[in-house]
């Protein structure tokens, strides 16, 4: 029974793990399996195919696969460049996985897939214009315009962490200096925490890390801020202002009605969102002349990639092709 | 004879002048008239109506008006905020002009209108994804995705000059510090020229300005660079790198197939575009993994706003409304 009611497979191909879920029409993950991400394109395809086959034993009615892959994914579903997945260069994942499984496959960027999940089933539901921003190891993003995710001319759009905010800033993973990602990713919060701790400015945070500067991460900063410790609160406020700088720039460029923020930091709740909304309102252009832009937490958490990829796979069932329409 | 072959009116409402043209289906401006921009919303409407009526005497078959206005224009065609037009705040231009003239009117942002002109009749023709960037008093922009200009949730999209590239930079017209516009507008090139001249670093440029530091403008810098004078070339190279920083960020965010650059500086030709293409290729993410993004001069020059606004007016003739579809 493959058809309009059947579930689909969603694969989230990250730098650490390959996750595969079978997802129903309401966006509920019925079951999920995972493996560590192997080295090289062929092994990645074999791992993804193996995970799908395992789930297919119990869900034989699922007959389409969506993949969200961390990297620059072109319109034909080939990963051209994946900075965080070793050995993955110019890898035609869509074609290889279709050949392996014999079912239609669509491959998209992981952040775009996660954004699509939030549009169809989560915090961006109903928004015609939205930004979905993930503050994680780096910064991922999805741009929603006219109710659809914008992928750009070549499928490389929404590399939203990669615009310069300081010419003297640290060198980014991409090689350029002072990109927003270097200041506003989860990784950057940890780095700021270690810098403050090393300078003796973050006693509360440092104590949480057992007094070891090298052990300080963003989690300890967040915990300290949430507990109301002055150093944690001040550190998080500085970090939040960097987040706001980038969000304000993106809002000036794209004019969303809603900004959905995801990533582990979202668990901080109001300790993150209250100062973020204040800083954003101070920095966005003409706030007194425009409707308020809502800044809200993502709803799908770590499953957004799997759910969004599975939702993308549904597009294939009406005879659609895994090659994107621009 | 109003119909599919008749010309339309295009109005370009700027900080200095109101220009009105009657434009045929090939994007040719058949005639143009202008007046200085008056003070306040009522006077602006009266001036625009007067210009349209003057042209309508000889072109009675034209029966729809498009306006491109410098400022934040909402979906209903009201100018909410216009930093460079005195006294224009929350002005319902579309409704007022329709009431005055008795014909359908659409009002859009001037940069969006100019971008639409380049899409329909100029350098962005045929591009599904493009950026149209005007380096002038400030930086204006139009974002083309799926072959249409993206206006955002409230009509405020493409304020592309307003993202921070340096936290220690000069204060922007919008009140924020270190925005791209402060470094890469035509105005910024003149300021850089005066700074270099005052520091004794730009003898060739200064000589062209009659030895008066205060008289240095971007035009003198451009002339000096085009003549191959070392100071002019070095100054323009520094400026071009700022332009490239912003264009690379926007390209990473939006993945256009083409970037169209307009503004007076475009007349410098290869003296501008050759170093700009080099700097851009160095700064955009993953240039070895993505198709080349063409950077080309605009084709419609100063008439882009009038031509694009007139092209927008054609959408009204099939019974379309001047209220934009999001």
Identify whether residues B169 and B308 lie together within a single domain: no
Identify whether residues B88 and B222 lie together within a single domain: no
The shortest CB-CB distance from A257 to any of B127, B153, B176 is to: B153
CA A25, A26, A30, A31 dihedral sign is positive
End-to-end CA distance of chain B: 31
Residue B108 carries which DSSP code? E
Asked whether the beta carbons of residue A250 and residue B248 sit closer than 8 angstroms, the reply is no
On chain B, the residues whose CB falls within 8 A of the CB of A155 are: 255
What tens digit of pLDDT does each residue of B217-260 get? 999 999 999 999 999 999 999 999 999 999 999 999 999 999 99
Q: In chain A, which among 239-298 make CB contacts under 8 A with chain B?
A: 245-246, 248-250, 252-257, 283, 285-286, 289-291, 293
Q: Which chain A residue is nearest to residue B283, measuring alpha carbons?
A: A176
On chain B, the residues whose CB falls within 8 A of the CB of A255 are: 151-159
Task: Pinpoint the alpha helices (H) of chain B.
Answer: 41-58, 93-101, 110-121, 181-184, 186-198, 203-208, 218-226, 230-254, 270-283, 304-314
In a domain, B322, yes or no: no
Identify whether residues A106 and A34 lie together within a single domain: yes
Identify whether residues B157 and B278 lie together within a single domain: yes
CA atoms within 13 A on the CB side of A78: 10
On chain A, the residues whose CB falls within 8 A of the CB of B163 are: 163, 165, 246, 248-250, 252-253
Q: Which chain B residue is nearest to residue A176, measuring alpha carbons?
A: B283
Domain that holds residue B222: 123-298
Identify whether residues B40 and B184 lie together within a single domain: no
Identify whether residues A256 and A310 lie together within a single domain: no
Q: In chain A, which among 32-71 make CB contacts under 8 A with chain B?
A: none
Identify whether residues B38 and B174 lie together within a single domain: no
Identify whether residues A307 and A294 lie together within a single domain: no
In a domain, A1, yes or no: no
pLDDT at B318: 66
Provide the mean pLDDT of chain B: 92
Q: How many residue pairs bridge chain A and chain B with CB atoms within 8 Å of each other?
A: 167
In a domain, A102, yes or no: yes
Alpha carbon separation from B221 to B56, B225, B231, B260, B275 (Å, rounded): 42, 6, 9, 22, 15
Determine contact: B166 vs chain A, CB below 8 A: yes
Q: What is the spatial distance between Cα B122 and Cα B109, in angstroms, rounded to a whole number?
A: 18
Torsion angles phi and psi, residue A80, rounded to 5: -80, -35
On chain B, the residues whose CB falls within 8 A of the CB of A326 are: 128-129, 146
Identify whether residues A108 and A158 lie together within a single domain: no
Determine contact: A165 vs chain B, CB below 8 A: yes
Identify whether residues B102 and B135 lie together within a single domain: no
What tens digit of pLDDT does each residue of A167-183 get? 888 888 778 889 999 99
In a domain, B324, yes or no: no
Determine contact: A153 vs chain B, CB below 8 A: yes
Number of domain units in chain B: 2
On chain A, the residues whose CB falls within 8 A of the CB of B146 are: 146, 150, 326
Asked whether the beta carbons of residue B252 and residue A163 sit closer than 8 angstroms, the reply is yes
In a domain, B189, yes or no: yes
pLDDT at B156: 87
Asked whether the beta carbons of residue A289 and residue B80 sit closer than 8 angstroms, the reply is yes
Identify whether residues A159 and A260 lie together within a single domain: yes
Q: Which of A265, A267, A193, A264 is nearest to A231 (CA)?
A: A193
In a domain, B242, yes or no: yes
CA B197, B200, B202, B208 dihedral sign is positive
Asked whether the beta carbons of residue B174 and residue A128 sit closer than 8 angstroms, the reply is no
Torsion angles phi and psi, residue B50, rounded to 5: -65, -40
Q: What is the spatial distance between Cα A174 and Cα A181, in angstroms, rounded to a whole number?
A: 10
In a domain, A166, yes or no: yes
* B85 Cα distance to chain centroid: 15
Identify whether residues A187 and A278 lie together within a single domain: yes
CATH number at residue B63: 3.30.420.40
Q: How confident is the prediction along chain B (326 residues), in pLDDT tens digits per residue?
A: 445 689 999 999 998 899 999 999 999 999 999 999 999 899 999 999 999 999 999 999 998 999 999 888 998 999 988 877 888 888 999 999 999 999 999 999 999 999 999 999 999 999 999 999 999 888 989 999 999 999 999 888 988 999 999 988 888 877 888 999 999 999 999 999 999 999 999 999 999 999 999 999 999 999 999 999 999 999 999 999 999 999 999 999 999 999 999 998 999 999 999 999 999 999 998 888 888 999 999 999 999 999 999 999 998 876 677 776 66
In a domain, B319, yes or no: no
């Amino acid at each position: 029974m493959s058809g309009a009611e059947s579930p689909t497979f969603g694969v989230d191909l990250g730098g650490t793990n390959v996750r595969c879920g079978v997802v129903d029409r309401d966006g509920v993950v019925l079951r999920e399996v995972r493996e560590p991400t192997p080295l090289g394109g062929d092994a990645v395809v074999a791992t993804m195919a193996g995970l799908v086959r395992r789930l297919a034993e119990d869900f034989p009615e699922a007959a389409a696969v969506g993949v969200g892959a961390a990297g620059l994914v072109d319109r034909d579903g080939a990963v051209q460049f994946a900075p965080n997945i070793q050995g993955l260069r110019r890898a035609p994942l869509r074609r290889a996985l279709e050949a392996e499984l014999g079912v239609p496959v669509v491959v998209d960027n992981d952040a775009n897939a996660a954004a699509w999940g939030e549009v169809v089933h989560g915090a961006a539901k109903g928004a015609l214009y939205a930004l979905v921003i993930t503050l994680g190891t780096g910064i991922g993003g999805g741009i929603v315009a006219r109710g659809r995710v914008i992928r750009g001319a070549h499928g490389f759009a929404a590399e939203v962490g990669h615009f310069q905010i300081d010419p003297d800033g640290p060198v980014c993973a991409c090689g350029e200096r002072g990109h927003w990602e270097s200041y506003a990713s989860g990784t950057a919060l940890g780095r700021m925490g270690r810098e403050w701790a090393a300078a003796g400015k973050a006693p509360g945070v440092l104590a949480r890390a057992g007094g070891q500067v090298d052990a300080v991460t963003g989690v300890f900063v967040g915990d300290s801020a949430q507990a109301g410790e002055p150093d944690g609160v001040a550190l998080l406020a500085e970090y939040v202002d960097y987040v706001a700088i980038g969000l304000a720039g993106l809002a000036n460029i794209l004019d969303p009605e809603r900004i959905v923020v995801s990533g582990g930091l979202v668990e901080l709740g109001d300790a993150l969102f209250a100062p973020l909304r204040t800083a954003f309102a101070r920095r966005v252009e003409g706030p007194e002349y425009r409707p308020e832009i809502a800044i809200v937490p993502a709803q799908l958490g770590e499953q957004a990639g799997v759910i969004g990829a599975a939702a993308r796979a549904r597009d294939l069932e009406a005879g659609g092709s895994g090659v994107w329409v621009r």
